[in-house]
Structure 1
Amino acid sequence: MTTYNFISLATKPSAKICYKFYPSIKTTKPVLLVFVNPMGLTQTSWENVIARLHENAPTWGLPAMLTYDRYGQGQTTDRDPSDAKAADQRHGHDCLDVVHDLHQLITQIADQELGISDISSLQLVFVANSIGCALTRLYAQEYPGTIAGLLLLDSVLANTDFVSIFPDPDAGDFDESTLPAGVRIEDIRASRAFAQRVFHPSNGSDEGLSQKNLSALLPYSDGPKLQGPDGRGPWVTVVEHEWEASEREHEAMGSPGLITRVYSNPFWGAYNEALAKITEPERSKGPFQAPGAGHFIQRDNPEFVAGEIREILDKVL
């Protein structure tokens, strides 16, 4: 059974964060593998991936690893202390606040668990899903030269409101005759309503993390270019959901599969094509689809995710 611990950040001592630290195996290189959650799943979603990494650790070695739940998420039942001043608890803090908290968490874990007081000597490899991918990009921008590798699993579309992916039947210039075969106006309306209800940044979140300003923080999917510890770009792998699996997921949630096929998946694919350009071409891999996986790739295909992590670690360790 996995044992989780709690820590108070020096910057926010009144609240505790739940985390799990995994010591390194057969390597002493100062590397920390950090898993960054989506909104829909907690740190427990990485357990099967980590279990598969440990299966091969005696042969390959494995750096220290860290999972955690953000304030107001999963086993971190304490809210971000800054939320107390917010008029809307679903928009209590933003992605940059989370990034600064993560930096403080890494700083304290490095000192406490690794004996590293100066984290400029610590190389980070981030594995992230959904909103976690946006957080890792912001981390790399806020703290350049710290991230050696990034595995981005089905990144959130940081620069859209999701509703705008679909044509607007109520727009003055809308022409029904231009719709692809089989696409009905009522299906487009349903998909726009679904996107507004589920994904629109104005909705906020149960954990208090707001995305209202995310498109301003990350306006471009292909930039800015990131800087790794060696002065070059980090190793970046971009993975997206399997398109057929995404159709099934969206249908189960009430959005027609055909609309996902015609609009959502191509839009997501173009975003990921650009996302792969945030590092140097020779250090970029992808985008490509994770076999059989919907949006939560680590849950649906942990073996695949473990393999991609191993490939990045082989370049860093």
Structure 2
Amino acid sequence: MSTPSVKVKLGTVHYPDKPIVNPKLGTIQLTHKPTASLRYSFAAGDGDDNKTLVVFLNGLILPQSSWAETISQIAIKTQEANNLRPHLLSYDRYGQGLSDRDPNGTHDVQDVVTDLYAFLQAFTEKELNSRSPRHLILVGNSIGCAFARLYAAAHPGTVSGFIFLDSIMAHIDLASLWPDPDDPKFDEKELPKGTTTDQLRHIREKYRTIFDVYSSNAEGLDRSGLPELLPLAYTPKLQGPDGPPWITVIGHDPDTFAAENERSYGVPQALVNKYINPIWHEYNEGLTRLTEDEERRAGPAMAGRCGHFIQRDDPVLTAERVLVMLHKTSSTWYAR
């Protein structure tokens, strides 16, 4: 599988003398979990009849604060272009960032979707005076992309657009992507030059410890049901409020991602480029087909010099892709 042919350049950050947006920090207790609080950051959009809400969905590692610079850049760029700013919302799931632990101790992926729906209902009541957004855009990173898909499947016709930033490969255990050097069918000659079976054996074990769907995590998220719920990248198809939704898929820079793995886990870059990056790009290609309208697909593009956390590595690129999505989903409203 070839690497992506489209490469997105790293953006330029603009820092105004005075902040254009000061997000409001809020707290919500869901009625089905009244003893715990979810914390959110909300930057209200322009205009009294603002009906576009952009929701940022965290991965497993970075909390809502990882979207702060993206939100700031969206505000700056909408002002520079004399466009209306949408409502911008980020939040921490139970057990993440500033939010309380889940009162049930743990939660699974379906619980996250249930909680997200209840959270958005409560948020709309509190901050938007019960005015449901006409255009809901979900921007996810890593497992946040899987949550966006599951949310849309549970509530079809509610999401106008999706931006997937280096989505988790929901159907697969990352450790299984590495071949087993102890398998009789394994051919050592297939290894990239300069790598060894001992390295491969070590990597498989390390990935299994960290990334296995049954491995523990600080959030208390049970991911074990994810492969069954999302067994393929391109299905179940997504349905927007006016037909197929708009979808943008952006993947990591293979070289940057390989270098990150070498720094963090001691994985030789040659192994990442052989066994991980091609499969991930193929998965990203599948994600674009979640919308049945070819004209509403964008990507997969490669975020130049970005690793897995694209919103952290290039918040300007992330902001620009949100602006493009806004024009696609709500062009009649968006421009002044």
TM-score (norm 1): 0.92
Q: Which residue of 1 aligns with 2:227?
A: 215
Q: State the partner residue of 2:247.
A: 236
The answer to whether the aligner puts 1:269 opposite 2:292 as a matched pair is no
1:125 Cα offset (Å): 0.2
Identify the residue that residue 294 of structure 1 maps to in structure 2: 307
**Where does residue 319 of structure 2 map in the other structure?**
306
Instruction: Provide the alpha-carbon RMSD of the alignment.
Output: 1.5
Matched, 1:176 2:188: yes
Q: Give the CA deviation at 1:247.
A: 0.9
**Unaligned 5+ runs, structure 2:** 1-21, 331-336
Among 98, 101, 110, the residue aligned to 1:75: 98
For the residues of structure 2 that align with 1:56 and 1:27, how far apart are their CA atoms? 20
Choose the corresponding residue for 1:94, options 104, 108, 116. Answer: 108
- 1:27 is displaced (CA, Å) by 7.1
Q: In the superposition, relative to structure 1, how do residues 75 and 130 fare at CA in structure 2: closer, same or farther (>3 Å)?
A: same
Pairwise CA distance, 1:204: 2.6
Q: Match of 2:238?
A: 226
- In 2: Cα distance, 1:29 partner to 1:46 partner: 21
**What's the % identity of the aligned pairs?**
40
| Paired AA for residue 208 in structure 2 | Q
Match of 1:151 in 2: 163
Aligned mate of 2:127, from 92, 101, 113: 113
| Alignment deviations for residues 107-132 of structure 1 (CA, whole Å, 9 cap, x no partner) | 11112111226x4x643101110010
- Which residue of 2 is the match for residue 256 of structure 1? 268
1:66 aligns with 2:77: no
Which of residues 45, 59, 63 is equivalent to 1:42?
Answer: 63
How many pairs does the alignment contain?
305
Give the partner amino acid of 2:313.
D
Give the one of 135, 138, 161 matched to 1:126. Answer: 138
**Pairwise CA distance, 1:51:** 0.6
Partners of 1:200 and 1:100 lie apart in 2 by: 24
Is the helix fraction higher in 1 or 2? 1
Residue 114 of structure 1 aligns to which amino acid in structure 2?
L
Structure 2 counterpart of 1:206, which letter?
A
Q: Distance in 2 between matches of 1:105 and 1:147?
A: 16
**1:7 CA displacement:** 1.0
Q: Is the 8 A contact 2:55 2:138 kept in 1?
A: yes
Unaligned stretches of 5+ residues in structure 1: 84-91
Partner of 1:246: 257
If asked which structure has higher relative contact order (CA below 8 Å, sep 6+), I would say 2
Secondary structure, aligned partner of 1:244:
helix
